[in-house]
Amino acid sequence: MGQALTKSFCNEGVEVVILSRGSGKKTSIGRYVSWDAQSLGEWTNKLEGADVVINLTGRSVDCRYTKVNRDLILNSRVDSTRVLGEAISQLQRAPKVWLNASTATIYNDCRGSSVPHDETSEGNAKGFSEDVGRAWEKTFLDGQHEGVRQVAMRISFVLGQEDGAFPVLRRFAKLGLGGAQGPGTQWMSWLHIDDWVGIVRFLIENESIKGPVNLTAPNPVTNANFMKEMRKHFAPLGIGLPAPSFAVHIGSLFLGTAPELVLKSRKVVSRILKDNSYNFKYPTLATCLQNLRVGPE
């Protein structure tokens, strides 16, 4: 997701500085600067005079939720957000806007024909991921900075060719394993990688938007329909064996991931993007997967 943004900005001649504990892949673009995402250091000089700060730091949630991993997931998000706030408070020329990642998982599990959650819904769902999301946003939004517009991006399931869960699901579909996962009735809110870039740029340019914003396509689908659409585009003969809930739990042990990433129901839309007339490039899953099947335009 970060590299997709970087490519978009660099293509227009914008300088992008990436704060990272590593040096990136050989194919990575942007200028890498070292930081530990916990404490102030020389990296803070790179924020002076910057137009925009975008924080996507956080240990991947695609792992088993052991005590060690839970601590890493929480602390990597809270610590990086806290120290960025400390750095911004010391700047002579602070950025005009600070976009901080958050998660759409903070909303309650939504099943059946229930109305989707939007930004007016309470983010009071119970669970580890939900607690992380609230702590993350509290750290971000409690620290207000004069002249800096702050947007908490509640990001849904982003679909892109390179990384994340989509290549895994595509591989399952190609192997004939693209059936419904668990009951199949759980909702999935999703977003094409191009709209991820488009929305971030939209939020930067639209000075009236601040606070939490859901980053998700306007048409969530059930898992059964999601996998059905995956089979249409990627499965041989459209065949896909289902994975009952018990199989998801067993498979998660072998894959080193958390079953809730598949089994929780997330039915979320964005009232803010709709009210501000963001024009989705891929508003439906069919158009999204068609693009991902044939590749970039």
The structural domain count of the chain equals 1
pLDDT for the residue numbered 117: 96
User: Is the separation of the CB atoms in 95 and 111 below 8 Å?
Assistant: no
Lowest mean pLDDT among 42-46, 105-109, 171-175, 213-217: 171-175
Alpha-carbon gap, residue 281 to 207, rounded angstroms = 22
pLDDT for the residue numbered 245: 83
Alpha-carbon gap, residue 54 to 17, rounded angstroms = 10
More confident residue, 169 or 72: 72
Tokens of 212: 């939490």
pLDDT for the residue numbered 102: 97
Distances (CA, A) of 181 to 110, 112, 129, 187, 264: 17, 16, 20, 11, 11
Alpha-carbon gap, residue 201 to 192, rounded angstroms = 14
Q: What are phi and psi of 292, to 5 degrees?
A: -70, -25
pLDDT for 254 beyond 70: no
More confident residue, 7 or 239: 7
The mean per-residue pLDDT over the stretch 160-189 comes to: 87
pLDDT for the residue numbered 252: 73
Q: What is the pLDDT of residues 128-158, one digit of tens each?
A: 999 999 999 999 999 889 999 999 999 999 9
Share of the chain above pLDDT 90, in %: 72
pLDDT for the residue numbered 255: 65
Give the domain CATH number at 237.
Answer: 3.40.50.720
pLDDT for 35 beyond 90: yes
pLDDT for the residue numbered 144: 87
The mean per-residue pLDDT over the stretch 7-32 comes to: 91
Q: Residue 117 belongs to what domain range?
A: 2-294
pLDDT for 297 beyond 50: no
Mean pLDDT of the chain: 92
More confident residue, 173 or 10: 10
pLDDT for 296 beyond 70: no
229-238: b (≥16 Cβ within 10 Å) or e: bbbebbbeee
The mean per-residue pLDDT over the stretch 8-19 comes to: 95
Task: Residue 72: count other Cβ atoms within 10 Å of its Cβ.
Answer: 15
